Structure formats: C-alpha cells, structure tokens
Amino acid sequence: MNLKTFFQQNSKVALAFSGGVDSAYLLYAAAHYGAEVRAYYVKTLFQPQFELEDARKLAEELRVSMKIIEIPILENQVIAENPGDRCYHCKKAIFETIAKAAREDGFTVVLDGTNASDEEGDRPGMRALRELAVRSPLRECGITKEEVRRLSREAGLFTWNKPAYACLATRIPVGERITAEKLAAAENAEDYLFSLGFTDFRVRRMGDGARLQLPEAQLRKVLEYREKIAAELKKYYSMVLLDLETRD
C-alpha cells in the first residue's frame, strides 16, 4: 500500500498533529491526496511553545483546519509520578482526548505519525495506539524517517530538516515526580540555547542541576559561551554540567 491508496480508502481522517517532521508530512499527504483531514493538536505542559507555533504555521500553509485542545496532564497522578511506562499513560490520555473530539466533529478514523523506522521497543506509547485503534499510515506504508525527510523536502515543507524533539517530560529522570516548575526550567533553558544557535541538544535534570547533552560538533561552541550559559541556566538549576558522552 502507498499513501495515495491509503487516503483513497480512508478519505475522512483526524490527525494527531504535533508539528514534527512525521505528522507534518502526513498532514501534507492527506491534503495532497484529497482526503478530508482535520489536525488535532493537544497542548499540555509537556510541549514547548515553539511546537505549537510550528504546527499553526504548517496548518495555515496547507490550509488545513487545526483544533487545539488543552489538557491538564499533571492532574493525572500516574503521569505526574513519572513511572517507566509514563509514555503509555500520556499517549493514552492524549489520544483518548483526540478521539473524543474527532468523533464529536464527525471523524471516526484517527491517525498518528509513527513511521517505519520507529521500533516498538523504543516507543511504549505504541501500546496505547493499538488499544485505541489509531492508524499509522507511514508505518503501514513502510515509509522510514529518512524517506519522510526526503519527501518533505521535495514537497517544500519547512519541517523537512527539523530535529527530532521528545517532549519536555523526558528531561526529568524516570521515577522523579514531574512538576510544572521543572518543565518550565527545561523549556526556558532550551529556549536560551536555541537562541544561541545550538541544535539537536537536551537539557536534562540531574538532581537540582542541569546536564547538557549536545552533538560533538557543538562542544567547542558551548565552551565559547560557557559563562553566558552557566549564568542563564543557573536561574533555574543549582549547577550546570556538560555531558562528554555526546548526542549522535
């Protein structure tokens, strides 16, 4: 099966839309192949503001309707406690919310952007997708992450080379309770590093400190900005550490 066939067979769909590379291309493909599609963006404290802005921008460029739904994710105590399967509980809460909204809008088929490169062992949230009968067209059609980027570039989508971005909850160690303050610290710290031109990095919580993970090519730059980074991040953390085991 290819995407054209998929959308011929499923011509009215609701898409869980994050503004990331995969769901962005899927939104484009649905519109391109003539499906009636609506994007649903679930806003929680786990998503940084720039993700919402990217999602809005792309939906406007594609002239696709997008509904924004806010949910108080930390009111779910299982999620707030941050167990090893937090992603499952979070994904389930988000997709239950999307499915309910989609049904109310007349959509019975819900899609997500999981691609053929995503290993199920690395994605505990896939269990929730199965339970809720969410379809993953990219995965079903055998389209890998590399192909998604290539196809996105050919389609002229600004998201084609957007770095992978895991939600802010992943910055907090498993088993450590998630709070709004900890999430805000991670978002503010990462926004500052973005403003300095850093890319594809993480600011992970380590006790009350911050552990910076960057690609090897950016280590020299982080040392050049060492004093500024330390001063800014110490507004939110007790100390700032550089992880020498760099991101691939």
Same domain, 8 and 116: yes
Same domain, 197 and 131: no
* Stated pTM of the model: 0.91
Q: Which residues contact 248 (CB under 8 A, 6 or more apart)?
A: 215
Same domain, 9 and 98: yes
Same domain, 194 and 88: no
Same domain, 19 and 54: yes
Q: Which residues contact 154 (CB under 8 A, 6 or more apart)?
A: none
21-47 pLDDT, tens digit per residue, is 999 999 999 999 999 999 999 999 999
182-232 pLDDT, tens digit per residue, is 999 999 999 999 999 999 999 999 999 999 999 999 999 999 999 999 999
Residue of 213, 204, 207 whose CA lies nearest to 244: 213
Has residue 168 been placed in a domain?
no
Measuring CA to CA, how many Å separate 172 from each of 17, 51, 166, 167, 203?
Answer: 24, 19, 12, 10, 9
Domain range holding 15?
A: 3-154
Has residue 172 been placed in a domain?
no
Has residue 171 been placed in a domain?
no
Has residue 166 been placed in a domain?
no
Same domain, 98 and 58: yes
